[in-house]
Each structure stands twice: as structure tokens, then as C-alpha cells.
Structure 1
Amino acid sequence: MFFHGTSRVNEKGHLEIGGVDVVTLAEQYGTPLYIYDVALIRARARAFKETFEKHGVKAQVAYASKAFSTIAIVQLIEEEGLSLDVVSGGELYTALKAGFPPERIHFHGNNKSRSELEMALDCGVGCIVVDNFYELQLLEELSRQRETVTDILLRVTPGIEAHTHDYILTGQEDSKFGFDLNNGQADEALQQAMQSTSLHVLGIHCHIGSQIFETTGFVLAAQKIFQKIADWREEYGFVPQIVNLGGGFGIRYTNEDDPLPAAQYVEQIIAEVKTQVEKFSLPMPEIWIEPGRSLVGDAGTTIYSIGSRKEVPNVRHYVAVDGGMSDNIRPALYEAKYEAVLANRVLDANEEVVSIAGKCCESGDMLIWDLPLPKAEAGDYLAVFCTGAYGYSMANNYNRLPRPAVVFVENGEAQLVVKRETYEDLVRLDVPLKIKVKKG
């Protein structure tokens, strides 16, 4: 059993987060329920930001909002002085509704639509990360029409494979993202962008993967990028103001995971950039990084109510909860692993090993396999840890299940930041059939 941030067991034997009893929250707001430890998010944000400040390095730490995007989390990120990454018109709209300064927004994505780019240009986002030649030409056209110069980063794939799950690798050569450094695409993209009077290339961006537990991949990526930068300086006179080495910093989902502290990732990145700058006699660029999961992942806990059981003699005991792949699709999608406790009986001794089944009509809707628990009964509350990233953001209405509510807790106070969907919400956009079907 392990706890993160402000989580602890209170005098009732209940799980407590942010000074608030989780059982009380479950009774007040219902289940499934996402609970976020605000103090832990603040601590994670400051750890990244303050490490750059400690070393006197100009930098931007941009929260990758795809991990969890709501008005409240965007406002919290703004409070902490971070920048913001968005990858769609919806995430951009959320950021703007939250009052986030558009000049600190970076717009990513491998297939930005014309309307999305128009929205980004019209609101004045600080930077657009260009992913392909189609986008480069479209953005040049839209910028020219507006008689403006758009700041861009060119996303490149350096051919570095991070040690992570195959489904979430993005930095290797065979990727849907970015201009390849090794086959001439990146060279051609840079030339096109530099020839445009409507685009200004601030620098280079790469992202090598997700849930990364070591710094080797970032070091190798920096080495390849700076070798290419040195070539571009000689060939085109290009020297970047910004080098963005992405995110992907891992968190601990289970005791099998062993991520590094935020400061260690940052310090290794700073050290390698300084080494490369000195090696090639380049000016020190501003360093950008993009933590997402590592800011919010272990700050989130999902609370479920336990319902039915099924015991298969000599095979397995199933315990079902009132959520599943509709609020956390990662186990089905990535075979992601989690740890959990009974939130209302944390100190009770484990008596059995069970597998936690979701309620969706899919045999693959399993949240946790082989979890040691006290004898779980209907009405108990199961707390699944580290669900703060890609839980709510990937939630869905499969089987017409309403998406859960979201609550922030800090200093003994709780605030509802996303209301629970209702059945009425599920049909709000439906349009009744008006065509009369002929019988016979």
C-alpha cells in the first residue's frame, strides 16, 4: 500500500485526501468520483519550475492539458505560473474560458483543422507547434491573409525510442507525428518556413514517449537535435531561440514503477543542453518542457462503490464496481496497472485476492487483476490511486453511463469542479426521428 501527497488514514480508518474524508465525499457527490489533491499538483508544478530557476536557466514549463483538461485545472495551472499545451479546438476553448493568457498557450496536434488554426490565430496563442507540410502551408496561408507573423516550433522525430509502452511511443522514425530528422523532411520544412514572411521559426520541438523512468532518451534526443541545429546554422544560418524536449516524465502507478524526481529529469536536461551548446558554440536556447501526467497523475484518485461478486471456484473471485472502462479506459487500452484500497476500511487486514470488474458490457472491462483486499462487501468504497491523468479526459458514455463528477480538495476543503452528468445530459444532443418508416 502506498499513498501520495496529502493522502492518509484518519482516526475512522477512512482514506483522507487534502484533509477531507473520502467516504464523506463519496456520500455527498456519489460514485464513481474523481478526487484531486490540489496541494500535490502545486508541489509537482513548483518542482519543475523551481529547478530551472535554481540553475538560472530561462525556461517554460507547459502543462500538457490533454492529461486532464477542465476550467478549474487550467485556472490552477495559471495560478502556478505555468504555460499550457493544447491539442484541439476544444482544449483551446476550455483554456480561453478559464481566462488563461493566450500568449502562454502552445497549440499542438498532427491534424489541426483550418477552423482550429483560425481560432488559434484569432485569439493570439503564443506558439503553434507545426507537425507536417500540410499544416505548414495552411498556416502560412492563414497568417498571410491576416497580415501577421506567426511564431512556430517545428516538431521533429529524432528516431529515439523511449522505454515505454508501444502504443504511446511517439519519437521513433515510424510515427504519425512530426518531421523526420533522418530522411530530410525536417530540413525541407525548415527551409520552407524560413522562406515565408508570415512564419517565424522560434525553435524545435520533440517528444519521445510517455511514462519514461530514465533520462537516457532525453539525452540522446538532445544530442541528435543539437547536431542537426549545428548543421542548420552552417547551411541556413538558423539558430533556435527555443528547444522543446517535450514531456513523458513517469509516475508511480504501482510499486513496480520507479520514476525519478522531477528535479532529476530537469537537471539532466539542463546539463545535456549546456553540453551541446558548448560543444557546438551555440547560444543557450530557452528550454521548454511539457509535463502532463507527472503534474496530475498521482494527484487523482477514483472512488467507486462496490456491488456484485462472482466467485469461480479454484479460478478467480470477481468484485464489480459502479464504473470501469467508461471512466478509466487505460487498463483496457494499455493494460495499465493500478493499486487500490477499501476507502472506508483501509486498516482492515487483507483476506482475499480479487479482480476488480467494471460494469460495462465488455469482458475486457477489468480495472485491476489480482488485488489483495479485506473481504469486500456491497456498499464498500474502493479507492483506485493515480487516476488523475487520462481518466476523466478519456472518459466516455459507453452503455450510456454518465461521466463522473470531479472534486478538488485542499486544506480540509472540497470544491466540486465538474458536475456529474445526468441521464438528461446523455440525450441532450439527440434529435428524435421525424421520418415515417413505411410498413410492409
Structure 2
Amino acid sequence: MNPKVIHLIHELRENSKAPICAYIYDLDGIRQQVRSMLNTLPERTSLFYAIKANPDKRIIEALLPLVNGFEVASAGELLKVREVSESVPVLFGGPGKKDYELELAISKDVAYIHVESLLELRKLILLARERTKDVHILLRVNLRTDTLPQTKIQMGGRPSPFGLDEQFIEEAVSILKEAGNTYVHLSGFHFHSLSNNLQADLHADMVQYYLQKVAVWKDKYDLHIQVINAGGGIGVSYDGSSGFDWQRFTALLAQIRTVAGLETTELYFEPGRVVVADHGYYAVEIVDIKRSQGQYFAVVRGGTHHNRLPASWGHNHPFHVVPLESWPYPFPRPEIKQEKVTIVGELCTPKDRLHADAAVERLRVGDVLVFEKSGAYCWTISHHDFLGHPHPEFYYLTGGDHE
């Protein structure tokens, strides 16, 4: 458990009587995570941060000097990045891009737009011609294969709303070569086939498969390929099992002949979860402990309206107990010892659960639970305003201090 987080929780208790409910982001930890990832990347590979994992402005600012750029999936995310930097390279992905989003991508000088359909391609050609501005694109391809690693979220290798099936590449190239298109340029291909993959060896095999497919298309359609974007999808373990081995993955990449022979082509990665998950903490105070039909429930100030990931993924989120000695009431303090307890939130729904049947040595009302690995897809995917409870506070650890 991060000692800086524990210190901050004790400080919060000293300075406020309100139940603790806060997100704590370790910016130094995030920066170190990225530095270690960059240290082992092979040549001609670049690291972008997919801000969908956590678009907090302070995190974007912390990563700006380190990553090669950012990946966004909406006009809102694009504006968040451009608020921090008007010049950092941005990749714009996601299905269903509206005209105003394509127009914004053009006006905000997005480095590459990931084109997801033939209609999107035709719209982009029209908009670029109207603005007489060059636009560089990567065709997102949904491969028809059963060789991809299997994860909870499959985004390719099967019928999918994401990307173009391989059979439509020829038509896309034909559209780009039509008379009247002098502004939209095909620079390469984009792949994002899955999410939260924990298998480094299979991930390396998948990247190799991407490169092999692009080599075929390059010759078949006489293309000059500047970029192959292998997407993200690198996972984090929430159940204590082994996580993704980044060092092994990059070592395997370096051994792939097609990676070593990229020459003038760049290989991009755009991870999100693995960059920030381990450096975010959701701290919530226990406000009640009750027994119901032989089971214990600990109710916290907070819940799935702040951290929806455990409910969304159907897992028990890991946590650490921070004991606090303060008890301002004249009656006994409720507690349990060496029991199993289900951690629930303050919402009026039985689905507001963060952890079921957790074994605890000791737990008291007024203690704080720190849900670790809460840096990615926790706050931003949550239904913040359901029932109107106050939002958590946000704190940022940097250097020897917090903000």
C-alpha cells in the first residue's frame, strides 16, 4: 500500500469531520510507469496515451513531456488534450464520428484520424476538400481471424461495429483514389481488437500478425505505409493474478523480424489502462456496518456512482483497510473481527457493490477502505449524479506533497 496515500488519509481525517470520500492519483507513479515502459520499447515504436482510461487534466499534463502523443475518441476528449497543448500529436479514433467532430479534428490539426467506415471516409474527403486542408488517416481494420487472444472485451475478429472488415479495404483505397480527393491521404492502418489482455506472448503474436497483414496489403494495393497502429488493449489484473509482463512483451517485439525491419514505418501503441490503473486510489469511509440474515454488510460513503468498474466488469475490486481511531459518538463503535463482509455503497440499488464476501481481520465504522488499482475506467465511466450524492474530492500526489 502506498504510504503517501495512508499519510494523506490521516491528514484528511484531522482536517475534516465529513466522511472521507476521495480519489487520489499518484502523478509521480504514473510518470515512472511511462518511463519504464519507454525504456524497453524497440526502435521505431512510439507510445501514445489513450485518455479514455482517465482524461483527468492533471494526468494529461503529467504525461505530456513523456509520451509521443495522445489518443482520443470524441470531440470532448480532443478539446481536453488541446487545452493542455495545441501542438502535441493526437490520434482520433472511435466509431460514429459526427461531421462536427471530423471538422474539429481537421481544425485542431489531429495527426491521424482512424477511419472506421466507408461513409466516414467519404464524409472526411468532402470536409477536407471544402477546407482545402490535408488530412492523414489510418484505416481501422477488423480482422477476420480466430487467432486473437480471448479477453472479456473483444472488439475485433468477429462481427463488430468497430473498423472496416478486411474485404472493404480495396473499396476504401478506390475511394481515396477517386477524382476530387487530393487532401485525404492514407498513411497506414489501425488495429484495436481487444481490451484488458494479460498475455504478453499472445499480444506479441497479435502484433506480428498485424504486421504480416499490412505487408500483404502494402504490396497488393501499392501503398506507402508510414504508420501501423497496434492499438492498446494491454491489461491489468484485479484479482491478484499475474499482470501483463511489459518487459517480456517488448523483448518479444524486438525479436520479431518485421519489427526490426520497419525501416520508414512507425509502429504505434496507444495503451490507457496499464499506464494509470495502478496509480489511482479510491478512498471511502465506512459509515455503517450491519448484519442481515447471517451476512455482514459495510456501507461506505461512496459506491458504484463513483467507481463503476467492479460492477461493470463483475469483479471484486482489491482494497486495503486504513484504521482510523477517531470516534466522536458516546455509544459503542460497531465493528467486526475475522468475518466476511460485503462492501456496498450508499445507493438505493442492490447492484451498488464494490466487493462481495471480503475476509477482514478487523473492520470498524469510521475506518477507511482504499480501493487500489482505481486509476483507470473507475471515475469517468461512473454515473456520478445518480441520487444526487456529492462527488468525491480529488487529490494529486507529486514529489513529497499532495495537491
Common fold by TM > 0.5: yes
CA 1:149–1:258 in 2, change beyond 3 Å: closer, same or farther?
A: same
Contact 2:286 2:300 in 1 (8 A): yes
Counterpart residue number, 1:70? 56
Match of 1:419 in 2: none
**CA 1:310–1:350: 2 relative to 1, 3 Å:** closer
Alignment correspondent of 1:51: 40
**TM-aligned CA deviation for residue 320 of structure 1:** 0.7
Is the alpha carbon distance of 1:197 and 1:270 closer, same or farther for their aligned partners in structure 2, counting shifts above 3 Å? farther
* Per-residue deviation, residues 41-74 of structure 1 (Å, max 9, x unmatched): 011111222222xx4x122211010011122111
Q: 1:214 aligns with which of 166, 184, 199?
A: 199
Please identify, of 222-231 and 107-116, the stretch whose mean Cα deviation from structure 2 is larger: 222-231
- Give the whole-Å Cα distance in 2 for the aligned partners of 1:290 and 1:353: 40
User: TM-score normalized by structure 2?
Assistant: 0.89
SS in 2 for 1:251: coil
SS at match of 2:283: strand
2:169 corresponds to 1:190: no
**How far 1:121 moved relative to its partner?**
0.8
Give the deviation of 1:401 after TM superposition: 2.2
Task: Confirm whether residue 146 of structure 1 aligns to residue 135 of structure 2.
Answer: no
Post-superposition shift, 1:323?
A: 0.9
- Which residue does the alignment assign to 1:427? none
Please report how far the alpha carbon of residue 249 of structure 1 lies from its aligned counterpart in structure 2 after TM superposition.
1.4
Distance 1:213 1:89 in 2: 30
What secondary structure is seen at the aligned counterpart in 2 of 1:408? strand
CA shift at 1:217, angstroms? 3.8
Corresponding letter in the other structure for 2:157:
Q
Question: In structure 1, the residue corresponding to 2:40 is in which secondary structure?
Answer: helix
Residues 254 and 339 of structure 1 are in contact (CA less than 8 Å); yes or no, is this contact kept in structure 2? yes
Give yes or no for contact 1:62–1:289 (8 Å, CA) kept in 2. yes
- CA deviations on 1:81-109 (whole Å, 9 max, x unpaired) are 431011111111111112x2444111111
Cα separation, partners in 2 of 1:214 and 1:349, compared to 1, 3 Å: farther
**Counterpart for residue 36 of structure 1:** 25
**3-state SS in 2 of match to 1:264:** helix
Amino acid in the other structure paired with 1:330:
L
> Which amino acid in 1 is paired with 2:401?
E
In 2, are the aligned partners of 1:65 and 1:85 still within 8 Å (CA)?
yes
1:369 counterpart = 2:352? no
Shift of 1:27: 5.5
Distance 1:103 1:400, change over 3 A: same
Alpha-carbon distance change, 102 to 359 in structure 1, aligned in 2, over 3 angstroms = same
- Opposite residue 294 of structure 1, the aligned amino acid is V
Give 1:312's aligned residue. 292
Which of 398, 409, 428 is the equivalent residue of 2:397?
Answer: 409
CA offsets 1:209-248 (integer angstroms, 9 cap, x no match): 1221113443443344333323323322113111111112
User: Are 1:259 and 2:243 matched, yes or no?
Assistant: yes
The 5 A counterparts of 1:349-368 are 351-368=338-355
Q: Percent identity?
A: 27
CA distance in 1 between counterparts of 2:136 and 2:149 reads 29
| Structure 2 residue aligned with 1:431 | none
How far apart, CA to CA, are the structure 2 residues paired with 1:192 and 1:42?
A: 42
Deviates more, 1:403-412 or 1:109-118: 403-412
2:155 aligned to 157, 163, 170, which one? Answer: 170
Question: Per the alignment, in what secondary structure is the counterpart of residue 90 of structure 1?
Answer: helix
Relative to structure 1, is the Cα distance of residues 363 and 61 closer, same or farther in structure 2, using a 3 angstrom cutoff? Answer: same
1:83 corresponds to 2:69: yes
Cα gap change, 1:48 to 1:322, in 2 (>3 Å):
same
Q: How many residue pairs end up in the alignment?
A: 387
Instruction: Provide the rounded CA distance (Å) in 2 between the counterparts of 1:171 and 1:44.
Output: 28
Residues 232 and 252 of structure 1: is their aligned pair in 2 closer, same or farther, counting only changes over 3 Å?
Answer: closer
CA RMSD, Structure 1 to Structure 2 (Å): 2.4
* Whole-Å separation in 1 of the counterparts to 2:349 and 2:81: 35
Q: Report how far residue 194 of structure 1 moved.
A: 4.7
Question: Structure 2: 5+ residue runs without aligned partners?
Answer: 326-334
- Identify the match of residue 400 of structure 1 among 385, 388, 400: 388
Distance 1:129 1:102 in 2: 19
Q: 2: CA distance between counterparts of 1:71 and 1:322?
A: 25
- Determine the C-alpha separation between the residues in 1 that align with 2:61 and 2:359: 38
